[in-house]
Each structure stands twice: as structure tokens, then as C-alpha cells.
Amino acid sequence: MDSGRRDVPIPPHRITPLKENWIKIYKPLVETLLVQVRFNMKSRLVQIRTCPETKDKDAIQKAADFVQAFALGFDVEDAIALLRLDQLFLDSFQIEDVKNLKGDHLSRAIGRIAGKNGRTKFTIENVTKTRIVIADHKIHILGSYQNIRTARTAISNLILGRAPARVYRNLRSMSARATF
Amino acid sequence: MADQIKFDSQQIFGLFNKSVSDLTSFLRPNKKIENDLRDLTLKLFELFKLNSGVPGIKDLVTEGFDEEQIWAQLEKHNHTFMKIIDKDVSNLSSLAKKLTKTVKIDIPQDDDFDILEPASSGEDEEEELKKLLGPREKFVGKMLSTFEQEQLQMDEKITKLEEENLKSKPWKLIGEVTADKRPANSLLEDHLQYDFIARPAPIIDEQVALKLEDLIKQRIKDGIWDDVERKIKPAEQPFEYKRRLILDQEKSKVGLAEVYEKDYLQRTQQDKVEEENETHKEIRKMMSAIFLQLDSLSSFHFTPKPPEPEVKIVNNLPAVSAEDTIPVAVSEANLLAPEEVLEKPKRPVKGATERDTTDRKHDRRLKKKKQKIIAARKNAKKISNVEKLSQSAKQKAKQAEKLERTQKQRQMKPSQLKT
């Protein structure tokens, strides 16, 4: 891979949001990270490259991670955290990795994770200080290492069929431990 | 003489009734009635003195005295009278004793007879004497041979025993007894012997206290501070549970970066506050010291105003939270399902008769697991204790060596001096 160039593919369902949020995306990349960025309409790629003005060596990787996170479905405000904080990571896994579910069982598992109006998902996000994207059977988690772990265990438990109330309780006890 | 008394008493009672008959005259102070009653008391006293012949006070002085003073005089007179009566009574009782002694010599087998009972008053005395003398009359005069006496005693004993056997047994001897089958308060009057199920509380006497003190001292010397701390399970209101259950379920309005920023700031600011506190503390200490000295110079008499009571603003909130439609008289605690208050066990709860082999095996496995954990903990504790002990022993050994060395040096010194 060329060390001075990154291409991030944008899935079709994220193209409209990308266009809407383009100003918020390119500004931090160009102004603070000092890299060059463009969106290739034909190949549907966000292309990033370094230039003589770029000071930081990590800048290009950080920029690529930021755009990647947005492409996966995170909000710009959340994805920007990747630029501002070093110890933030992105974790992706599939429901099939936890348990081989098919058909209605899979749909129900997804429903359990999201909850009514996304409540369960938001609860897990707020308690563990992470952001979660559920894209069909793929799940992406954004947060610090320890927080990703707790969120992942909670989601895994939901996939395995635990009642949300019980998962909440575990989360609560865990968060209580974290604050002390 | 008797006629004279009768006449006098009749006269006195007549006068008394006359003066007392109209009760309305007592409503106001009446000089005439007062004088009448005074005369009556005087007459009564004289009559009494004439008849009893007791040397009390010579005359009752009523003129110019109020009723309290007259009463005091009467009391004094009565006192002497009571003394004389007491003497009479004691004389009578001694006489009775003499009589009973003579009776006892005649009938030696009667042991129910209580000689020591003192006579209480003159009238009782005579009755008692009669009572004492009555039943004995049949034995007096009859001389029995020793054999006959023994026979009599034996008969008495036999009848006594037979009666006892025929009577229903006391409640203590008939086995299990409920409260309604024994007389009231009969348990209180008895000294019972029974087995304690619980271990009795230790009696703390001087020896035990000393032992405890030694133990404490030893632990202080060894520096073992591992007392068991009492754990208290906090009592939880049922509604607290539900309140805690509801976590933030909305989409957060701030980005992830802000969340982490806030977290970080909170952590760093806490440290800052602590740092500032130390200097503040020092300053506050010095300030208070100075103010105390200043106060002692000027204003120790000063008392500050009492603090004004805080004004609390009570919002006009609805008294009942309208979560569910519930009957009015249902307490909040009843709104929770039992599973919400206490977690449901995974497996169905089964009675002793319902359990099958699987359940029994499951329980056994659980029990074994628990025992293993406890044993492991105990083992770990033992090892740590042994280490501590060995450390303390080493220290002691070192100290002992030091002592020996110093002693040797001391012993050496005189010898060196000699040489």
C-alpha cells in the first residue's frame, strides 16, 4: 500500500449522507490534519493523500480511519472522536460469529440488539460510552478498548437470547465499578 | 357506775346529734356550734378518763385552743393509753405460752402445733387459747405405751401416703402439659430443669476478660489487624430498583468525542480540587488559631445570632405519579412484579419430595463447589498467617540476639577493668 495515499470505498447507502456532511468531513481533514482529500464520483471512493504541508506521519491513517468510520454508518460527530483521541478503536463483527442464526432467529436477534425505537442500542451506547452501528447482521462498535469489550459482551448476550433487563443489570454493575 | 356512763353517753350523743342534725349550719363558721362541740369533747374526754383510769394528761384544755391543738393533746393521751394496752397484751401472750408448754409435755406426738406464733391482740388471744386447748383435750389424761404411739404414727403415715397416691398427680409429673392444663403462674413459681438448644452466653468474669486482653495485646504486638468487618446488606426500597432500572434510553445529543472529553475533564478536575484543598486547609487552620486568640482578647462574650431557617420552595407537583392506571389504595411497592424485586431462580423451585436424581446431583455439585471455594480461601489465609508469624518470630530472634550482645558487653567490661 502506498504510504502517502488511501482510498476509502463508500457504500451506495452512505453516498447521500456523505454529500450532506461533506463540509464537516473535509474541513478537519484539510485544516487540522493537513492532508488532501477528494470524493471520486465514478469509482465512489474517498481518496486521501499526503502533501508537503502534512506534518504528522499518522495523519493519513487517522484520516482514512475517520472516513472509514463514516462509511460504516457512524455520525460525523462521533467519527471525529477518532481524530481527536488516540485510544479510540473500531471493532466489527457479525452475528454469525457469536451464534449461527438463520431466518427469523437472525431477524429477532437483530431486533433484540436494537430494541424498540433503538432503545436497547442507545442504552448500551450511553452506559458503555461507545457508539454502535447495526447494519443487517454486521455490528460495528466505536470506543475505547475496555468500553468496546463491555459493549461487545452485552451485544453477544443479547444475540444468545438473554432478556434485555438482565443485560442492563450487568451493564449497570459494570458501569458502577468503572466509576469507583 | 355503768348507769352513770350510760346516762352520760346518752346525753353526749343527744347533744351531738342535735348540733349535727342541721347540716346547713356548717356552711358558715358558727360560734355556737363550735362551743357546743368543744364542750362535748371535754365531756367525752372526762368520761373516758374516769372509766379507763389511765394516767395520761390531767385535763383537756379547750379554751383559746384551735382544733389542731386539742387533737394534739388527745393524741398524747392516746399514746400513753396504747402503751398500757400493749403491756397487757404481752402479759397475756406469755401466759398463753406457759399454758401451751404444759400441754406439749402431755402430747409429744403433735408436731403441727406452732408455739412460736405470737398473739396479735387481746381479743384474738382468748380465741387462740381456746383453739389451742380444744383438740388436745382428748389426749390429755390418756397415757399411751411406746408401742401404741408408734402404731399411731405408722397409721398416720399410711393414711397420708394412701391419700397422696389416690390424689391426682401434680401437673409436673403427668408429662406434656399445655398452659390451660396447669394453674396460672405455676411455671413462674418453679425451678425448672431443661436442656438448652442454643449455646448459652459465656459468663464474662475476670479471668475471661484477662484472657481476652492477652489475646488483644498479642495481636497488637504481632501487628495483625485483620479483624472481620461486619457486612451489612443495605435494605433497598422496592421502587429504587425500578428507578435504577431505567437507564438513559435516548440517543445521546453529544458526539463521542465530547463524552470522552467530559470524562477526562471530570477526572483531572477532581485531582485539581484535591490539590487546592491542602493549601486551603493550612490557611483555614491558621485562620482559626488566630481568630481564637483574637476572640480571647476581645469578644468572648459575643454570641452570634441563631441561623435563620432555610426557606424551602415546594413545587406544585402531582402527588401521584401517573404511570399506570391503578386503584387508589394500592401501595407503590405492589406495582412491581415479584421478578422485579427479586431475581427469579433459573430452575423451578422444588420441594424435598419433588426432587429427582438430577436435581439432587445438581445441588450436590453446587455444594461441593462452594465448599471448595471456602476451603481454598481458608488455605490462603492460613498461609498468609504463617508468613506473618514467621516474620514476627524472626524479628523476635533478632531482638534476642541484640540483648545477648549487650549483656555480654556488660559482662566483659568489669573483667576488662580487672585486667
Same domain, A102 and A164: yes
Pick A126's closest partner by Cβ from B245, B248, B263.
B248
Indicate the range of A31-45, A166-180, B324-338 predicted with least confidence: B324-338
Across the interface, do B256 and A122 touch by the CB < 8 Å criterion? no
**In angstroms, rounded to a whole number, what is the distance separating the alpha carbons of residues A137 and A101?**
10
- pLDDT digits 0-9 by tens, B148-194: 999 999 999 999 999 999 998 888 888 888 888 888 888 888 888 88
ipTM of the complex: 0.83
Same domain, A141 and A111: yes
Beta bridge partners of A144: A88
**In angstroms, rounded to a whole number, what is the distance separating the alpha carbons of residues B289 and B286?**
5
Look up residue B158 and give its three cell numbers: 399410711
Across the interface, do A123 and B247 touch by the CB < 8 Å criterion? yes
Interface test with A, best of B245, B246, B249 (most A CBs within 10 A): B249
Q: At B345, phi and psi to the nearest 5?
A: -65, 150
**In angstroms, rounded to a whole number, what is the distance separating the alpha carbons of residues A68 and B56?**
130
Give the end of a domain, one of A84, A111, A145: A84
Same domain, A99 and A161: yes
CATH code of A103's domain: 3.30.1370.10
Indicate the range of A50-59, B28-37, B300-309 predicted with least confidence: B300-309
- H/E run at residue A132: strand A131-135
Global pTM value: 0.40
Same domain, A12 and A77: yes
- pLDDT digits 0-9 by tens, A57-75: 889 999 999 999 999 999 9
The residues, ordered by sequence, that sit 6+ positions from A31 with a Cβ below 8 Å of its Cβ are none
- pLDDT digits 0-9 by tens, B272-293: 666 678 888 899 999 999 988 8
Same domain, A77 and A117: no
**In angstroms, rounded to a whole number, what is the distance separating the alpha carbons of residues A38 and B223?**
71
Same domain, A25 and A78: yes
Give the end of a domain, one of A28, A58, A84: A84
- pLDDT beyond 60 at B108: no
Same domain, A74 and A95: no
Same domain, A93 and A170: yes
Same domain, A138 and A154: yes
Residues B333-353: what's their mean pLDDT? 77
Contacts of B338 in chain A (CB under 8 A): none
- A118 at the B interface (CB within 8 A)? yes
| Nearest-5° Cα angle at B257, B256 to B262 | 100
Q: In terms of Cα–Cα distance, which of A43, A54, A45 is closest to A3?
A: A54
Residues in chain A: 180
Q: Are A152 and A140 in contact (CB under 8 A)?
A: no
- pLDDT digits 0-9 by tens, B207-254: 999 999 999 999 999 998 888 888 888 777 766 665 655 567 788 888
- A7 at the B interface (CB within 8 A)? no
Same domain, A80 and A95: no
Give the end of a domain, one of A84, A102, A134: A84
The per-residue DSSP string of B229-258 comes to: PPP-PPP--HHHHHHHH----SPPSS-HHH
Alpha helices (H) in B53-194, listed in sequence order: 67-106, 122-133, 146-166
Same domain, A64 and A9: yes
Q: Which domain holds residue A175?
A: 89-179
Contacts of B258 in chain A (CB under 8 A): 77
CA of B258 vs chain A CAs: smallest distance (Å): 8
CA of A58 vs chain B CAs: smallest distance (Å): 19
Pick B252's closest partner by Cβ from A119, A125, A171.
A125
Look up residue B51 and give its three cell numbers: 372509766
Look up residue B237 and give its three cell numbers: 426500597
Sign of CA pseudo-dihedral B168, B169, B170, B172: negative
**In angstroms, rounded to a whole number, what is the distance separating the alpha carbons of residues B38 and B61?**
10
Q: Specify the DSSP class assigned to residue B176.
A: S
- pLDDT digits 0-9 by tens, B297-308: 876 677 777 777
pLDDT at B114: 44
pLDDT band at B131 (very low <50, low <70, confident <90, very high): low
Please state the domain count of chain A: 2
Sign of CA pseudo-dihedral A18, A19, A20, A21: positive
Same domain, A74 and A149: no
